[in-house]
Amino acid sequence: MKPFHRLLLSVLLLGATAAHAQKNIANEELDPLSGTRVQVRSVFDPLPPSGYAPMRIVATNGTGRNARWGFDFHSQTQYYRQQNEHDSSFALDVPGRSTQSALFMVPLAVDYDDSSRGNNSHALRVDFSGTGFEVSPKTDHDNRSTGFPALALSETLAELSISKLNHELEAKLRSGGGRHYGGSTVFGSRFEPADLPESWLGYSGFDFVLLSSTDWQKLKPAVKRALLEWVRMGGKLNVYATAGTTADSLGLPDGSDAAKERVSLGKITVLSWDGKTLSAGPTVNHYWGQTQRVNSLTEEHATLGAWSLQGLLGTRSFASWQVIVFLVVFGLLVGPVNLFVLAPAGKRHKLFITTPLLSIGASLIMVVLILVQDGTGGVGRRFVTINLEPGEAAAYVTQEQISRTGVLLGAGFEMKQPVLIEPLVMPDTPWAKLKKTSTAQSANLTQDGRERRGNFFQSRAEQGQVLRAAVSTRARLELKAAAPDAAPTLISALGFTVDELFYTDAEGAQWRLEKPLSTGQSATLVKTDDSAQRLWWEAAVNPAVDSLRNSLYNTTMHRRAFFVAKARQAPDFTLDTLSSIRWEDDRIVVFGPVTQP
C-alpha cells in the first residue's frame, strides 16, 4: 500500500458572477489510470458574509484499497494586520472502487473590523489529504461588499436578470447611498434549487433567500423543512410567483395573499413577477436598506448601554492600578534593591542568582494575586427564547449570552447538537477583547465536529455570543376541553416549570396564569387585559437586544390560540457552552401555539 501524502489545495472563492450556480473549488482527476478524483464545490456563489457555507464533496476512489480523505477548511478575513479566522475539519471514508459524497457545513469567518474601512479581503482555503497524489496549489481572492443585505437567489431568477441587478446595485452604491470601495459588486449569491442543503445551517449566513414559485414546488420536503427552520430563527424567504398563484396554493406555512406574513422570528413573503425577468430598479430598491444580520454581530451590541443583558451582568473594576503598583515594586526590587543591597559592589556575581529568584517570585505572586482577585472560571447571564411548534415536533432556540471570566484552565467546549454560535463585538471596556477599536483582538475560532476551540472564551475577558439551534421535542401546552363560557385550562407537557404565562384564546380574549405551572399539571387561567400583558411582556424581553426584541414583539403579540411564558430553567433547551462559566439568573421566554383538543 502506498503511503499517505499531504495533499494541499488552496482556494479562495470569487465574488464574481459564475457561469453556473455551483462554484467548483476543486475538480481534480488525481489518477487517470484508476479514475481517482476529488470534487469540492460550493452550493452558493459567492459565499455569504457570515454563518455556514455548504460544501458538496464528491470523492471517487479508483484503487482497490480503502481510503480516508481529510478536509481542513480555513476561512479568513483580513484588513492590513486585522485577521479573523475560523477553521474547521471534516473526514470522508471512501471504500476501494467506489464514489462517496458528503455535504459539509463550513463555518465562515466574520469581518469584525470597522466596515467603514471598505471591502475587506476574504479567503477560503481547503487542504485535503489522500492517497499519494500531487495537486498544484490554487489561490484566489474575494472582496466582500458592504451596505447591502446578503441575498441568495435561484438560477431561475438570476439567469436573465443578474447582470442588470448587479449593474443597478453598483450604481446605487456609487451614488452615495452606500459604501463601495472597489472589488466586485453582486446582487446576491446564485444557487441551483436541486442542490440546496437539508440543514438550516446552510442558509444561516443569508438575510434573504429568493426562489420562484416553481423552484419552491420542486424542492424536496427535507429542503423545505430546512428553509422553514431557518425562517423561524429569523430568516426571510421571498417566493416570486406569477399572477394567479397564491401562498396557500404553494403550501407555504401561515401564508396568505397579503404576503409578508410573520413566521416566528422570520418572514415569508410572496412577490409577483412576470416569470422571466426581475425589474432591476424596483428589485434593488425593495432590498435596499433592509436589516443585515451581520450588523447585529458587529455593531448592535457594541454600544455601551444598548444591551440590557450586559447591565444584568454588572460592572467590575479591572483593577489596573494593582498591576501598576506591582510593576513599580518589582522594578525597585530587581533594580536598586537588587543592585545595591542583595548584590552590592564586590558581590555582583550574586545577580545571577538574585535576579532569576526575584523574577520567579514576582511571577508566583502575580499568579496568586490574579487568582485571588478574579478566581477561576467565570460568571454569565443568558437570555433565551424558545419557540415551541408542536406541529413540527421542534423548538427553535435563540440565546444571547454574556460572560466575564477570571482564569480559565481550558477554553474548549462541546455542543450537544448542531448550533450556530457567533461572537459579538462588545462595548469598549478594559474587559472586552473583541471590540470596535484599533487595539481589538481578532476572532480566531475552530470547529472540529462538536468541539469548539479558539477565543470564544478567554481568561480575564468579557465576551458575548448569540446561539441558534433547532431542537427536536414533543414539548407543548394543551388546551383542556371545556364549556364555551368557561375559563381555559392548560395542561403542561413542557418538561420544565413556567412561573408566569399569558394566553390569548381563539376569540382574542386574554388570560394569565395565577401560580407556577409544572410539567404534568394543569391550571385554570384568570381573565386579564391587553395593557397588563403588554407591561409584563416589556419586562420579560427587556434583556434582549433591540432587533431580537422587535422580532419577538411582531411574533408574539396579538396572536390567537397562542401563549407567552417566563421560566427560570429549561435544561433540555438551554444551549450550554463552556462548563466553567457559572450562568446565573437565566431569563427564559417561551412562546408558541397551544395544542387544541
Supply the pLDDT for residue 88: 96
**Residue whose grid cell is 473590523:** 113
* Tens of pLDDT, residues 230-242: 999 999 999 999 9
Q: How many CB atoms lie within 10 A of CB 573?
A: 24
Supply the pLDDT for residue 39: 86
- Amino acid (one-letter) located at 77: T
From CA 211, how far away is CA 264, in angstroms rounded? 20
* Tens of pLDDT, residues 183-236: 567 899 999 999 999 999 999 999 999 999 999 999 999 999 999 999 999 999
**Residue whose grid cell is 475538480:** 27
Phi-psi category of residue 268: left, alpha or beta, with phi > 0 → left and psi -120 to 50 → alpha:
beta
Average pLDDT, the chain: 86
Supply the pLDDT for residue 449: 93
Question: Chain-centre distance of CA 520, in angstroms?
Answer: 34
From CA 510, how far away is CA 562, in angstroms rounded? 10
Cell of 210: 429568493
CATH 3.40.50 fits 151-300, yes or no: yes
| HSE-up (13 A, CA, CB side) for residue 10 | 8
Phi-psi category of residue 467: left, alpha or beta, with phi > 0 → left and psi -120 to 50 → alpha:
beta
Which residues of the chain fall below pLDDT 70? 1-30, 80-81, 114-120, 131-145, 176-184, 254-260, 317-323, 369-374
- Amino acid (one-letter) located at 455: N
From CA 145, how far away is CA 48, in angstroms rounded? 10
Task: Give the helix/strand (H/E) hosting 309.
Answer: helix 308-313
In 252-374, where do the E strands start and end?
Answer: 261-263, 266-272
Give first-to-last CA distance, the chain, whole Å.
Answer: 65
**Residue whose grid cell is 384568570:** 526
Cβ–Cβ under 8 Å, residues 407 and 459: yes
**Residue whose grid cell is 514576582:** 362
From CA 28, how far away is CA 10, in angstroms rounded? 13
Nearest of 248, 193, 183, 253 to residue 220 by alpha carbon: 193
Sorted by sequence, the CB contacts under 8 Å of residue 353 that are 6+ apart come out as none
Domain boundaries, the chain: 8-143, 151-300, 376-597
Q: What is the DSSP-derived secondary structure letter of residue 417?
A: S
Q: Do domains 8-143 and 151-300 have the same CATH topology?
A: no
CATH 2.60.40.10 fits 8-143, yes or no: yes
Return the SS3 of 349: helix
From CA 230, how far away is CA 199, in angstroms rounded? 9
Nearest of 141, 236, 154 to residue 187 by alpha carbon: 154
Task: Give the sign of the dihedral formed by CA 155, CA 159, CA 161, CA 166.
Answer: positive
Supply the pLDDT for residue 597: 73
Nearest of 175, 177, 122, 112 to residue 145 by alpha carbon: 122
From CA 69, how far away is CA 91, in angstroms rounded? 6
From CA 387, how far away is CA 551, in angstroms rounded? 12
In DSSP notation, 6-41 reads --EE------SPPSSSSEEEEEEEEETTTTEEEEEE
